[in-house]
Structure 1
C-alpha cells in the first residue's frame, strides 16, 4: 500500500468531521434564531395596512408635479432653495468660527499646552451633540424656523472642521516657516506666506465636504421645525399626501446629486 492510499482515507475522515461540525453549528444557530423569534408576536397584515402601502407607492411613483412651482405660497423650489441657503450659511459660520479654535488647538502654534488642550476639548464637546439635538435646543431658544437650523448646523460643524484643520496645521512642513523667520519675517508675514498657503487647499476641500453633509442634514432638520424642505415633507406625510411626498423626495435626490457632482469636481481640482 502506497502513501497516497493511506492518506486518502484520513483525508475523507477529516472532511466528514468538518462537515458534521459545520452542520451542528448551523443547527444550533438556526435553533437559537427560532427560539429568539418564538417570543415575537406574529405580524398580521390587515387589509387597511395593504391599502396604505399601495397608496404610498402609488403616490411615490405618481408625484405631484404641480407642486414644483406655485406662484403664490410654498412650493418645491422655494423649499429646496431655503434648504440650500441653510446649509450654505451654516457652513460659512462654521468655517469662520473654527479657524481661531483650530489654531489655538494646534500644539505647534501655541506654546502653552493648557490652551491647546482646552481648545481641543471645546471642539470635542461640540462634536458630541448631533445636529438634531442642537436644532431642538435652538428651536426652544429662538423658535422654529430657518434661523434655528442655521445655528444648529453652524455650531455642530465647528467641531469637525476645527478638529481636522488643527490636525492639518500640526502636520505642516515648518522648513518654509523657519526660512522666513531666519530672513526676518514677523509672525503675520510667516502666517500669510508660509502657513496659510499650505493649509488653504485642504481647508477649502473640508469646507466643501462639510457643506455636502450639511445639505443632507438641513433637509432632515426641517422635520422637527428647523426650516427647509423638511417642514412641508413632514406635513405631507402627516396628511398622507403621498404624491407630494414623492415630488419632494425626487427634488431632494436631484439637488443633492447635483451638489455632490459639482463639489466633487471642485475638490479634485483644489487638492
Structure 2
C-alpha cells in the first residue's frame, strides 16, 4: 500500500487559510466600536418582550382601512406589482446580457451586464427615497422601487438561464431554414420559461420582505405603522405587526415553494 506524499505547501495551506480568515474577522471587529450597554437596557428589553408576547389583537381589523390587514394587503400589492413589472422588463435585458458565444469579450453581453450591475447597486431603500421625492410618498413609490431593483436581479438570473440552456434546438431550426426569431420563439424561450417562472417566484418572496421595510421611509405598506409603533414604543402593536409579517411571509414561502417544486 503506497502512501501519498504531501508537499510542504499542502501542509501549510490550511494554516494559511485559517490565519487569513482570522485576520479578516479581526479586521472587521476592529472597525466596529464596541460600547457598553445603557443602564436602562434591561428595563427596555423587558418592555419589548412583554409587548411582543402580548400583541394588540384589536389592531388586526378595525374597519377603517388603517389596520393590520389593510397594511398587509398593500404590502402584498407592492411586492406583486413590482415583481410582475420587473419580470417583464427583465426579459429584454436578460437577452442583451446573455453570452451566446465562447468569445472572451462580447460587447453586447458586457454592455448588458454592466447595465444590470448598475441597477443592482442601488438598494431598494435608496430607490424608495428617490421615488418618494419624485412621485410622493405612498405605495406607488414603493412599487417603483421594488420593480427597478428587481430588474437588476432578475435580469442577471434570466441571463444565466439563457446561457446554460442547450442551444442545439435553436441552431437546428436556423439550419433548417428558420429565422433567428423562429429559433427564439420555438426553442429558446420555451426552454428558459420554467426557469424564468422559478426565479420570478423566488424574487417575489424576497420582494414581500422588502416591501415590509420600505414603508419605514414612507413608501407604503406595513412598514409605516411599524415605524410609528417603534417610535412611540407601542410594543404590543409592534408585536402584532411582526406576527402578521411572519404569518404572511410563511404563507407566501409555502405556496411559492409548492409552485416552484412543480416547475423544476
- SS of equivalent to 2:55: coil
Alpha-carbon distance change, 40 to 89 in structure 1, aligned in 2, over 3 angstroms: closer
Larger radius of gyration: 1
2:39 aligned residue (14, 20, 45) = 45
- Partner residue of 1:95? 87
Mapping for residues 3-22 of structure 1, pairs under 5 Å:
none
Q: Which residue of 1 aligns with 2:117?
A: 124
1:209 equivalent to 2:202? Answer yes
SS at match of 1:190: helix
- Which deviates the most, 254-263 or 166-175? 166-175
- Provide the C-alpha distance between the structure 2 equivalents of 1:238 and 1:42, rounded to a whole number of angstroms: 23
- Across the aligned residues of Structure 1 and Structure 2, the Cα RMSD in angstroms comes to 2.2
1:79-132 deviation digits (Å, cap 9, x = unpaired):
0000000000000111111111111112328x9932322111100111111111
Does 75-84 or 179-188 show the bigger shift?
Answer: 179-188
Asked if residue 138 in structure 1 is aligned to residue 128 in structure 2, the reply is: no
Say how many residue pairs are matched: 232
What residue in structure 1 maps to residue 59 of structure 2?
A: 67
Residue 83 in structure 1 maps to residue 75 in structure 2: yes
Task: Give 1:236 shift.
Answer: 1.0
Q: How many angstroms does 1:44 deviate by?
A: 5.1
Matches of 1:124 and 1:149, distance apart in 2: 21
Corresponding residue for residue 240 of structure 2: 247
Q: Give the structure 1 partner of residue 97 of structure 2.
A: 105
Q: Which residue of 2 aligns with 1:14?
A: none
TM-score (norm 1): 0.80
TM-score, normalised with respect to structure 2? 0.82
Counterpart-to-counterpart distance in 1, 2:124 and 2:140: 14
Report Cα offsets for 1:223-264 as digits up to 9, x if no partner: 111110000111111122111111000000000001001111
Q: CA offsets per residue over residues 28-63 of structure 1, 9 Å max, x none? A: xxxx9xxx9xx97654524xx544333222211111
- Residue of structure 2 aligned with 1:261, choices 229, 233, 254: 254
Distance 2:35 2:139 in 1: 43
Partner residue in 2 for 1:230? 223
TM-superposition CA deviations, 1:193-246 (whole Å, max 9, x none): 100111011110000000000100000111111110000111111122111111
Question: Which range moves more in the overlay, 233-242 or 178-187?
Answer: 178-187
Report the 3-state secondary structure (helix = DSSP H, G, I; strand = E; otherwise coil) of the residue aligned with 2:95: helix
Counterparts of 1:254 and 1:73 in 2: how far apart (Å)? Answer: 20
Question: Helix, strand or coil for the counterpart of 1:108?
Answer: coil
**Structure-2 change in CA distance of 1:259 and 1:180 (3 Å):** same
In the TM superposition, what is the alpha-carbon distance from 1:190 to its structure 2 partner?
A: 1.4
Distance 1:192 1:253 in 2: 41
CA–CA distance in 2 between the matches of 1:42 and 1:105?
49
Over 3 Å counting, the alpha-carbon distance change for 1:40 and 1:199 in structure 2 is: closer
Q: Distance in 1 between matches of 2:220 and 2:37?
A: 37
